[in-house]
Structure 1
């Protein structure tokens, strides 16, 4: 699947993330952020665009209703960050720690999650469209009542993930792994799984398989 990639200028001036407080509307754009610590802050309804953020930490920061467009996060710690009701487009998360992040009720489009820790992340009631998740750990991730449209899970760990009230029609889980999954039979209609996963799911739903 092809998605729209972040549109970021090749040359970016370096800035501090705390410069966001200098703008009345919490806007930060067209810059490079390096080695920043921005923990326990509250900047809801902020705007980030056309920027790269590397080796930075944002633990427990509240970014509710943030607008993120054309941004790359690389080697960042975003543990327990609140992205509730966020709008995230043409964005990439690479080698980041997003444990416990809250993406509930967000709109996420043309986004790549590559090799991240996404354990205990909450996507509940979110809409994900044209999203590629590759080699992520999504243990105990919550996709309750989500809309998944053109979403790819490539070689992810989905153990104990929750897809309750979420249709998996058109979703391919065959390269990913799980021991247990919360999902309804109706939601699996049109979902692609491996033969081993089919047996796992059947067992989880109480089907007795004999030789």
Structure 2
């Protein structure tokens, strides 16, 4: 699946994330932010545009209603961050931690989560459009009542992920692994699975398979 990648200029202005407090509006454009500690902070309606963020710590920070366009996060820790009601388009998360983060009621489009940890992330009531999870861990992630359009899980750990009230029609999970999933049979219709996974689902249903 082809997704649109972030459009980021070559020449970026170097900043520290704390510089955001000196901006008239809470926004960075065409910026490079590296090695910033910004944990346990709170900024409402932050806007990041054409920006790269590397090696930064945003643990427990409240970024509710964040607006992200053309942004790449590398080696960042956003564990337990509040990104509820976020708007994301053309975003990349590479080698990031979002352990237990809140992304409920968000729009996530043209976004790639690669080699990242999203265990226990809350995605409830969000809309996904052209999103790739690549070699990511989503153990016990909560995708309650989400709309998934052109979403793929490539070699991911989706063990104990919750897909209640979320249709997996057209979604390919065949290269990912799990011991159990929380999903209704109705919402599994049209989901692309491997032969081994089909046997797993059958056993979860209580079917006894004989050769």
What is the CA deviation profile of residues 119-156 of structure 1, one whole-angstrom value per residue up to 9, with x for unaligned ones? 01111100010001100011001111000000010000
Deviation for aligned residue 1:194 = 0.5
Matched residues, number:
211
Superposed counterparts of 1:54-203, under 5 Å = 54-203=54-203
Contact 1:144 1:162 in 2 (8 A): yes
**Secondary structure, in 3 states, of the residue corresponding to 1:72?**
strand
In 1: Cα distance, 2:28 partner to 2:194 partner: 44
More deviation, 19-28/39-48: 19-28
**Secondary structure, in 3 states, of the residue corresponding to 1:108?**
strand
Deviation for aligned residue 1:59 = 0.3
In 2: Cα distance, 1:111 partner to 1:119 partner: 17
More deviation, 14-23/162-171: 14-23
In 1: Cα distance, 2:53 partner to 2:23 partner: 18
Deviation for aligned residue 1:203 = 1.3
Deviation for aligned residue 1:29 = 1.3
What is the CA deviation profile of residues 43-79 of structure 1, one whole-angstrom value per residue up to 9, with x for unaligned ones? 0111011110001100000000010110000001110
Q: Does 1:15 align with 2:8?
A: no
In 1: Cα distance, 2:171 partner to 2:162 partner: 15
Deviation for aligned residue 1:21 = 1.2
What is the CA deviation profile of residues 62-111 of structure 1, one whole-angstrom value per residue up to 9, with x for unaligned ones? 00001011000000111011110000110100001110011100000000
Q: CA RMSD in A?
A: 0.8
In 1: Cα distance, 2:206 partner to 2:24 partner: 57
Deviation for aligned residue 1:28 = 1.1
Q: Does 1:47 align with 2:47?
A: yes
| Residue equivalent to 1:31 | 31
Deviation for aligned residue 1:209 = 2.1
* TM-score normalized with structure 2 length: 0.98
